[in-house]
Structure 1
């Protein structure tokens, strides 16, 4: 599994994000491109310790879902979205894209960090798992929007 902490993968993701514009249409799902770029900021806010969105430890999530966050198996289209990462509000694409790029850059700048804060619901991840999880989430949504 690729990781955003690998230089080639980081650059690939940056390029794919740069290929989005305010007119990019989703191939599936309900989000528009502004909402998607806003949504993709959430996991970065978690990894960087900026927000835990009120999540609590969940042993069922750890047992049944944790590995699916960073393994090689792609997520299926139309998976339910956590409520705190959903919005019905219209989001300004350019603003949200800039914020997402800044969070990606900030996470990448910490790629050599060995100890990360635990995920509020899933517990501890290694640096490798955090990087893979971020890649998998971004890849899923960038494919959703055809980039």
Structure 2
């Protein structure tokens, strides 16, 4: 599997982000392209420790039950549910939001596994840097594929 820490794989994600424009349309889902770019930053912010989400026992229990299935799957399912804190409904400056996402993606390459500051995911519980890698890659790939890139 591709790795967000690997230079060439990281650049592949950035190249795909750069193929988007403000008129890009989703093949499924409800988000606009600017909302998707903002949405994709939220899980990265959690991994970097910049967004702190509260977890509760029920969500952690459910998360632990599906974590293995998600990490083993090749891709995320279309129209998968998302955390309320990751939902985007407003409008965002396309160019700025795109630049912000690219900067955060590059951090995985430049800092490697040191980019991860949180080892307890608010939904999946304890996670290794390899599991964060897997989850971040699949999440970005999922939404870029959603927008045809």
Deviations, residues 88-137 of structure 1 (Å, cap 9, x unaligned): 11112111111111111123222143974221232222221111111100
* Contact map agreement 1:116 1:126 (CA 8 A) in 2: no
TM normalised by structure 1 equals 0.89
* Contact map agreement 1:45 1:51 (CA 8 A) in 2: yes
Matched residue SS, 2:12: helix
Alignment of 1:4-83 (within 5 A): 4-56=4-56, 58-62=60-64, 64-83=65-84
Alignment of 1:108-127 (within 5 A): 108-113=109-114, 116-117=117-118, 118-127=120-129
CA RMSD of aligned residues (A): 1.8
* Contact map agreement 1:27 1:146 (CA 8 A) in 2: yes
* Contact map agreement 1:35 1:90 (CA 8 A) in 2: yes
| Bigger share in helix | 2
Shift in alpha-carbon separation, 1:115–1:45, aligned structure 2, 3 A: closer
Q: CA deviation at 1:48?
A: 0.5
TM normalised by structure 2 equals 0.88
Gaps of 5+ in 2: none
Matched residue SS, 1:90: coil
**Aligned positions, number:** 146
Q: Could you tell me which residue of structure 2 aligns to residue 141 of structure 1?
A: 143
Tell me the distance in 2 between the aligned counterparts of 1:13 and 1:26: 17
Q: CA deviation at 1:54?
A: 2.8
* Contact map agreement 1:3 1:9 (CA 8 A) in 2: yes
